[in-house]
Amino acid sequence: MMADTHGESGTVLGADEVALVIKADGAATLCLPDYADDDEVPRHTLFLVALMNKMEDEDWVDEIISEILPDDLED
């Protein structure tokens, strides 16, 4: 039986799970497992690390957002 990972207080990550968390105020946190130096880091985990780095570039973020919003919602 799988443990309940989402309840009234929020979502609980397993020790081997990765999550990009965006708070209501826009602050981002990347939750990572405790990798050893010689562990192979999964590709999608590396993608989230790269995304966190790229999120510092506000122009890039605006460009990506503009690609998914209808023209009349951009302003």
Per-residue model confidence as pLDDT tens digits over 31-66: 999 999 999 999 999 999 999 999 999 999 999 999
Tell me the average pLDDT of the chain: 87
d(CA 32, CA 52): 12
CA 15 – CA 65 distance, rounded (Å): 31
Express as a percent the part of the chain with pLDDT over 70.
Answer: 88
CA distances from 17 to 2, 22, 70, 73 (A): 15, 16, 33, 34
Domain ranges of the chain: 6-73
**Contact present, 52 and 28 (Cβ < 8 Å):** yes
Confidence at residue 29, expressed as pLDDT on a 0 to 100 scale: 94
pTM of the entire structure? Answer: 0.71
